[in-house]
């Protein structure tokens, strides 16, 4: 490099000794002492200039490092977010069960024993007593003993057994009754491995007067046993059971109630008993059975007038309410048809609304719950057959599969699942598989 108008050290000619001497003589001291300015030319840039050249390169490298770090951080965060979202992923399914509406409007015939082709019913019963009061006129003191009939059994011997009048019998209550006449109980008859006890009907009377001795078939009483044979083998093999109610026992002032008051009391007692016993009967229905509205019959004892307060009578009445119940699945199948219920196999169904179906007994004069004879009834109403969705089983099969494969799983339950009305979704939105953990899979049954 050559600065402008300044010569290079290479352009200054060298002087000979003679010339230097001559020039020395021609110039004064000041001139001889004047130096020609010489600028050094650096082969490398000065330090400050070198720094200015290197600084851009360092900044560029730093930017590249920071960019790489930023990319790594983003990737780490994205990976962590994805891993976290995967561990927190959830799946939600809404499943609609298959529903088949049924219109029940038909006549059914049911029997008390299992008979091919017929619906079978079972009888449950509850009993109770209600009391009310009415104005009365006091009559004379009356003392009467309860009377009735029982059937005596001989399971002890093939030989007959004679019992004399006055023989004492008792049940678990400890009350004593006596035979009103002598009887002979036939011996048992052998029938294969079993023996058929000999039987005879006998009249009995309470040992003492009073209403406590009044009993009926509605009461939960034990068999009667012969008091004299207690502690012997005969005590367990000779026994008696009610044939008719034992009634008429009374001790006290006989009260007289007007016909109108007695009729009014009778109606009230029947109404009260129907209400109270109806509530009790519902509690007696076992799991898996159903008691339809109207599927009941009642028996009422006579209105008994008593009491000790002058001018006021206590009127009581006993009643037994019988319920005719059906196995829920049997009734649903009978009303909807075999093919309808088979369509829900193998997972089954429920029948919501079936308990709203009403039943009317059309042969009340011949039907007897105690005898278990044929029941003819008219049923009316509507209910649904709803497929039973095996939620836990489906949840287990959905775990860990892709969302696109979930429909295949649900399709295997087509007998109870309505595929077109069922749906599912995953969270977060970018998830493509159902979580493997079944606890993170929510299944809601539509309509519940």
Q: pLDDT tens, 328-361?
A: 999 999 999 888 999 999 999 999 999 999 999 9
pLDDT > 50? residue 59 = yes
Structure tokens that stand for 304 in this block: 């008994």
CA 222 to chain CA centroid, Å, is 38
DSSP structure string for 91-150: EEEEEEEPEEEEEEEEEEEEESS--TTSEEEEEEEEEEEEEEEEE-EEEEEEEE--EEEE
Question: How does strand 289-290 pair with strand 312-327?
Answer: antiparallel
**Could you tell me which of 163, 288, 171 has the C-alpha nearest to residue 219?**
171
The average pLDDT across 226-249 equals 92
Give CA–CA dist 147/151, Å, rounded.
14
Tell me which of 6 and 199 has the higher pLDDT: 199
Q: CA-CA distances (angstroms) from residue 243 to 145, 167, 258?
A: 18, 18, 32
Phi, psi of 389 (to 5 degrees): -90, 120
Give CA–CA dist 154/162, Å, rounded.
10
Phi, psi of 42 (to 5 degrees): -75, 135
Domain limits of the chain?
Answer: 1-87, 88-98+389-445, 144-253
Are the CB atoms for 128 and 236 separated by under 8 Å?
A: no
Give CA–CA dist 262/135, Å, rounded.
10
Give CA–CA dist 285/276, Å, rounded.
16
CA 235 to chain CA centroid, Å, is 49
Give CA–CA dist 286/370, Å, rounded.
19
The reported pLDDT for the residue numbered 76 is 54
Burial class (CB in 10 A: 0-12, 13-18, 19+), 116: exposed
CA-based max dimension of the chain: 193
Give CA–CA dist 406/432, Å, rounded.
11
pLDDT > 60? residue 27 = no
The average pLDDT across 226-237 equals 94
- Mean of the per-residue pLDDT values for the chain? 84
DSSP structural state of residue 209: -
Q: Grade residue 37 by pLDDT with cuts at 50, 70 and 90.
A: low
Q: Grade residue 33 by pLDDT with cuts at 50, 70 and 90.
A: very low
Question: How does strand 250-256 pair with strand 194-196?
Answer: unpaired
pLDDT > 60? residue 43 = no
Tell me which of 102 and 71 has the higher pLDDT: 102
Structure tokens that stand for 325 in this block: 């119940």
The reported pLDDT for the residue numbered 29 is 46
């Amino acid at each position: 490099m050559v600065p402008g108008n300044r010569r290079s050290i290479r352009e200054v000619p060298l002087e000979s000794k003679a010339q230097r001497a001559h020039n020395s003589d021609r110039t004064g001291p000041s001139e001889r002492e004047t130096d020609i300015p010489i600028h050094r030319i650096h082969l490398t840039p000065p330090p400050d200039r070198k720094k200015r050249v290197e600084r851009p390169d360092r900044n560029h490298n730093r930017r590249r490092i920071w960019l790489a770090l930023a990319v790594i951080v983003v990737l780490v965060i994205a990976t962590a977010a994805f891993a976290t979202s995967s561990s927190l992923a959830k799946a939600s399914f809404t499943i609609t069960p298959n529903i088949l509406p049924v219109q029940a409007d038909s006549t059914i015939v049911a029997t008390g024993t299992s008979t091919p082709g017929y619906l079978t019913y079972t009888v449950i019963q509850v009993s109770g007593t209600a009391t009310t009061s009415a104005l009365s006129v006091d009559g004379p003191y009356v003392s009467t003993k309860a009377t009735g009939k029982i059937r005596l059994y001989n399971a002890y011997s093939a030989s007959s057994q004679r019992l004399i009048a006055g023989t004492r019998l008792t049940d678990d209550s400890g009350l004593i009754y006596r035979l009103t006449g002598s009887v002979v109980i036939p011996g048992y008859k052998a029938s294969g491995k079993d023996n058929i006890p000999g039987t005879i009907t006998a009249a009995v009377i309470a040992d003492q007067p009073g209403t406590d001795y009044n009993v009926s078939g509605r009461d939960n009483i034990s068999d009667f046993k012969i008091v004299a044979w207690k502690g012997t083998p005969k005590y367990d093999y000779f026994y008696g059971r009610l044939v008719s109610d034992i009634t008429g026992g009374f001790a006290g002032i006989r009260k007289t109630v007007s016909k109108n008051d007695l009729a009014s009391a009778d109606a009230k007692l029947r109404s009260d008993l129907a209400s109270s016993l109806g509530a009790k009967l519902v509690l007696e229905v076992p799991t898996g059975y159903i008691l339809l509205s109207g599927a009941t019959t009642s028996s009422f004892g006579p209105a008994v007038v008593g009491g000790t307060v002058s001018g006021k009578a206590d009127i009581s009445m006993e009643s037994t309410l019988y319920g005719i119940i059906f196995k829920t699945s049997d009734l649903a199948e009978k009303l909807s048809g075999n093919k309808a219920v088979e369509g829900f196999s193998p997972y089954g169904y429920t029948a919501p609304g079936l308990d709203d179906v009403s039943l009317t007994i059309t042969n009340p004069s011949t039907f007897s719950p105690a005898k278990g004879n044929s029941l003819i009834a008219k049923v009316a109403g509507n209910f649904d057959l709803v497929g039973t969705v095996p939620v836990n089983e489906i949840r287990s099969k959905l775990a860990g599969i892709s969302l696109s494969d979930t429909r295949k799983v649900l399709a295997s339950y087509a007998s109870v699942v309505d595929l077109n009305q069922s749906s599912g979704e995953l969270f977060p939105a970018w998830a493509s598989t159902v979580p493997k953990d079944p606890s993170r899979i929510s299944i809601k049954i539509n309509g519940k």
